[in-house]
């Protein structure tokens, strides 16, 4: 299956003024603005769509107190779309809208869509060369200073789900995703939509509440300087850090997470691993969320919200305890 990436992510909002400021401050390009609808674009043309929460065009909220509604994946050809739609229709409702988007619901209750990609091919942003010992690639040139971020693409989306095994089977068997890595005991699974792809495009975490919810949406930027510069600028505008900046040992990416007022988190990241059909999935037994991240006191941490690292560690503990009980 040839996916082109995340085509769009859809939210409802009770405060479109706040939503407009949030995604504009994040660095997205506003392409549409009305009393009931906002549209924003990343550098590669993917969209964040925000509608008034009462809009009949929105899917229902995934979780209580949050406004995530649906994500849409792009495919390369109409043949790909037809094959996926026909297979999904075997055991679930499938709806084709006037814009050519196929809408359905996965086995965790998450609304998703599929469409032939409408994004126009765009030239990726230039990256300033890095200097390293014995490799002086940036010569007579000052490295870029970022006063804000301009996200290039939505690289991955992460959900809490009641059963990671069931969710993994759906995305691998029905949508053709591939396994990259997992936490044993059902605590979490990293998936990608192509054999040759970034380390993961979807991460499924065991839900601490037993219900599905958006965990975070991740936007790729050019380099670690843009992660830091964009994060500093975003924080100075009053938006709350969840955790970071830091670096993931799984995927190798640099990160900085912020709280999304529409629910879940939002992440700047850069420099992820790129894997192929030669990649061998790992079975991790201990939490490996962060190789390092800045501690409380240097960057504001919202203590009312559980850090992703702590949430993952507790999910692993619960899964391992459950597994022990089954074997005794």
Residue 132 lies in a domain: no
Residue 125 lies in a domain: no
* Number of domains into which the chain is organized: 1
Instruction: Give the pLDDT confidence of 44-53 residue by residue, as tens digits.
Output: 999 999 999 9
Instruction: Give the pLDDT confidence of 105-156 residue by residue, as tens digits.
Output: 999 999 999 999 998 877 888 888 999 999 999 999 999 999 999 999 999 9
pLDDT at 120: 82
Residue 210 lies in a domain: yes
Instruction: Report DSSP state, residue 296.
Output: B
Distance CA 98, CA 57 (A): 12
Domain that holds residue 195: 3-120+151-326
- Count of C-beta atoms within a 10 Å radius of residue 56: 5
CA angle 90, 75, 115 (to 5 degrees): 65
Tokens standing for residue 53: 């929460």
Q: Which residues, at least 6 apart from 69, have a Cβ–Cβ distance to it below 8 Å?
A: 10, 11, 12, 58, 59, 60, 61, 62, 111
Residue 142 lies in a domain: no
| Torsion angle defined by CA atoms of residues 124, 219, 106 and 309, in that order, rounded to the nearest 10 degrees | 140
* 309 pLDDT higher than 70: no
With cut-offs at 50, 70 and 90, classify the pLDDT of residue 195: very high
Q: What share of the chain is helix, strand, coil (3-state, %, to 5)?
A: 20, 35, 45
Distance CA 203, CA 122 (A): 26
pLDDT at 123: 86
pLDDT at 122: 79
Residue 293 lies in a domain: yes
Identify whether the C-beta of residue 190 lies closer than 8 Å to the C-beta of residue 250.
yes
Summary mean pLDDT of the chain:
92
Residue 131 lies in a domain: no
Residue 237 lies in a domain: yes
Q: Give the residue carrying structure tokens 């990436």.
A: 5
Best CA proximity match to 192, nearest among 213, 205, 176, 208: 176
Secondary structure (3-state) at 89: coil
- Count of C-beta atoms within a 10 Å radius of residue 274: 13
pLDDT at 327: 64
pLDDT at 321: 72
Residue 138 lies in a domain: no
With cut-offs at 50, 70 and 90, classify the pLDDT of residue 2: confident
**Arithmetic mean of pLDDT, 55-63:** 97
**Arithmetic mean of pLDDT, 171-197:** 96
* 303 pLDDT higher than 70: no
CATH number at residue 238: 3.10.180.10
pLDDT at 324: 67
Identify whether the C-beta of residue 70 lies closer than 8 Å to the C-beta of residue 114.
no
């Amino acid at each position: 299956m040839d996916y082109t990436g995340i085509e769009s992510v859809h939210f409802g909002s009770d405060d479109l003024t706040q939503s407009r400021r949030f995604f504009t401050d994040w660095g997205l390009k506003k392409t549409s603005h009305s009393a009931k609808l906002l549209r924003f674009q990343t550098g590669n043309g993917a969209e964040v769509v925000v509608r008034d929460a009462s809009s009949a065009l929105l899917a229902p909220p995934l979780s209580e107190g949050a406004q995530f509604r649906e994500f849409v994946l792009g495919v390369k050809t109409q043949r790909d779309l037809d094959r996926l739609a026909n297979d999904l229709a075997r055991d679930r409702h499938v709806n084709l809208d006037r814009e050519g988007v196929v809408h359905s619901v996965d086995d965790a209750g998450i609304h998703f869509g599929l469409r032939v990609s409408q994004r126009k091919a765009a030239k990726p942003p230039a990256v300033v060369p890095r200097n390293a010992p014995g490799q002086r690639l940036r010569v007579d040139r000052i490295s870029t200073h970022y006063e804000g971020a301009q996200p290039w693409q939505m690289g991955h989306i992460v959900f809490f789900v009641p059963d990671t095994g069931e969710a993994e089977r759906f995305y691998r068997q029905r949508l053709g995703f591939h396994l990259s890595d997992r936490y044993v005991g059902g605590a979490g699974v990293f998936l990608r939509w192509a054999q040759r792809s970034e380390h993961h495009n979807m991460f499924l975490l065991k839900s601490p509440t037993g219900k599905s919810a958006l965990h975070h949406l991740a936007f790729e930027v050019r380099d670690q300087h843009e992660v830091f510069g964009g994060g500093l600028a975003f924080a100075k505008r009053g938006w709350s850090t969840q955790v970071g900046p830091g670096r993931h040992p799984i995927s190798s990416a640099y990160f900085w997470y912020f709280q999304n007022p529409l629910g879940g988190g939002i992440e700047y990241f850069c420099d992820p691993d790129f894997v192929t059909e030669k990649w061998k999935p790992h079975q991790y037994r201990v939490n490996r969320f962060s190789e390092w991240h800045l501690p409380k006191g240097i960057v504001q941490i919202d203590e009312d919200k559980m850090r992703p690292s702590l949430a993952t560690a507790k999910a692993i503990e619960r899964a391992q305890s459950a597994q022990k009980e089954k074997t005794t």
